[in-house]
Amino acid sequence: MADIRMNSIMKKYEKNVTAVQDFNLDIKDKEFIVFVGPSGCGKSTTLRMIAGLEDITEGDLFIGDLRVNDVAPKDRDIAMVFQNYALYPHMNVYDNMAFGLKLRKFSKSEIETRVKNAAKILGLEEYLDRKPKALSGGQRQRVALGRAIVRDPQVFLMDEPLSNLDAKLRVQMRSEITKLHQRLQSTTIYVTHDQTEAMTMASRIVIMKDGVIQQVGTPKEVYDTPDNVFVGGFIGSPAMNFLTGRLEERHLVINEVKVLVPEGKMKVLRERGYVGKEIILGIRPEDIHDEPIFIESSQESKLVATIDVAELMGAETYLYSKIAGQDFIARVDSRSDIQNGQKLELAFDLNKCHFFDATSEERIRP
Partner 1 sequence: MIDKIKEMFGDRIVEEFSDVESVNNYRWYKTPQDQPFGIRKHSLTEYEVNLLEIFVTPLPAYYLQLSTEQTMWKQLLFEGTQPDSKSPLKPSRILQFRILSKDADQELFQEAIENMLSDDLIFVWKNTYSLIVIEPFKDEPISAQQFQGLMQTIESDFFIKAVVFIGTAFHTFQDSVESFEKEARIFQSFLSLKNINQVYTLASSFPNYLLSQMDDDDYNFIRNHIFHTIEPELKDTVKMLLKCNLNYSLAAKNLFIHRNSLQYRMDKFTEQTGLDVKTIPDAVTAYLLLLKN
Residues contributing to the site for partner 1 (CB under 8 A) = 13-14, 16-17, 38-39, 51-53, 72-74, 79-91, 95, 99-100, 102-103, 147-148, 193, 233-234, 239, 308, 320, 327, 329
Q: How far apart are CA 228 and CA 363, in angstroms?
A: 5
| Nearest distance from C-beta of residue 40 to ligand ATP, angstroms | 4
Provide the β-strand partners of residue 157.
Answer: 80, 189
Cβ proximity to Mg ion: between 44 and 215 the closer is 44
Q: What are phi and psi of 145, to 5 degrees?
A: -65, -40
CA geometry: angle at 273 spanning 269 and 279, to 5°?
60
| Nearest distance from C-beta of residue 165 to ligand ATP, angstroms | 16
Q: What are phi and psi of 154, to 5 degrees?
A: -70, -35
Q: Quick check: 346 and 265 in contact, CB under 8 A?
A: no
First to last CA, the chain: 38
CA geometry: angle at 119 spanning 117 and 122, to 5°?
110
Q: How far apart are CA 181 and CA 201, in angstroms?
A: 10
Cβ proximity to partner 1: between 99 and 294 the closer is 99
From the list 2, 27, 34, 41, which residue makes contact with ligand ATP (rule: CB under 6 A)?
A: 41
Please report, for residues 57, 140, 199, 205, the alpha-carbon distance to residue 178 in angstroms, rounded to integers and kept in the order given.
33, 18, 12, 14
Cβ proximity to Mg ion: between 13 and 88 the closer is 13
| Nearest distance from C-beta of residue 52 to partner 1, angstroms | 7
Question: Taking CB under 5 A as the criterion, which residues in 4-63 touch Mg ion?
Answer: 44
Q: How far apart are CA 47 and CA 250, in angstroms?
A: 47
Cβ proximity to ligand ATP: between 29 and 210 the closer is 210
| Nearest distance from C-beta of residue 174 to partner 1, angstroms | 19
From the list 1, 8, 13, 55, which residue makes contact with ligand ATP (rule: CB under 6 A)?
A: 13
| Interface pattern 192-211 for ligand ATP (x via CB under 6 A) | -x------------------
| Nearest distance from C-beta of residue 195 to partner 1, angstroms | 9
Which among 12-20, 72-80, 117-125, 302-310 is the span making contact with ligand ATP, rule CB under 6 A?
A: 12-20
Cβ proximity to ligand ATP: between 211 and 285 the closer is 211
Provide CB contacts within 8 A for 7, sequence distance 6+.
24, 59, 60, 61, 62
From the list 43, 170, 204, 331, which residue makes contact with ligand ATP (rule: CB under 6 A)?
A: 43
From the list 2, 9, 19, 148, which residue makes contact with ligand ATP (rule: CB under 6 A)?
A: 19
| Nearest distance from C-beta of residue 56 to partner 1, angstroms | 15
| Nearest distance from C-beta of residue 192 to ligand ATP, angstroms | 8
Q: What are phi and psi of 157, to 5 degrees?
A: -120, 125
Q: How far apart are CA 283 and CA 229, in angstroms?
A: 11
| Nearest distance from C-beta of residue 347 to partner 1, angstroms | 22
Give me the torsion for CA of 99, 105, 109, 114, rounded to 10°: -50
Say whether the peptide bond before residue 38 is cis (omega within 30 degrees of 0).
no
Cβ proximity to partner 1: between 131 and 258 the closer is 131
Does 142 help bind ligand ATP (rule: CB under 6 A)?
A: no
According to DSSP H, which parts of 71-226 are helical? 93-103, 108-122, 137-149, 167-184, 195-201, 219-224
Chain residues binding Mg ion by CB under 5 A are 44
Chain residues binding ligand ATP by CB under 6 A are 13, 17, 19, 37, 39-45, 193
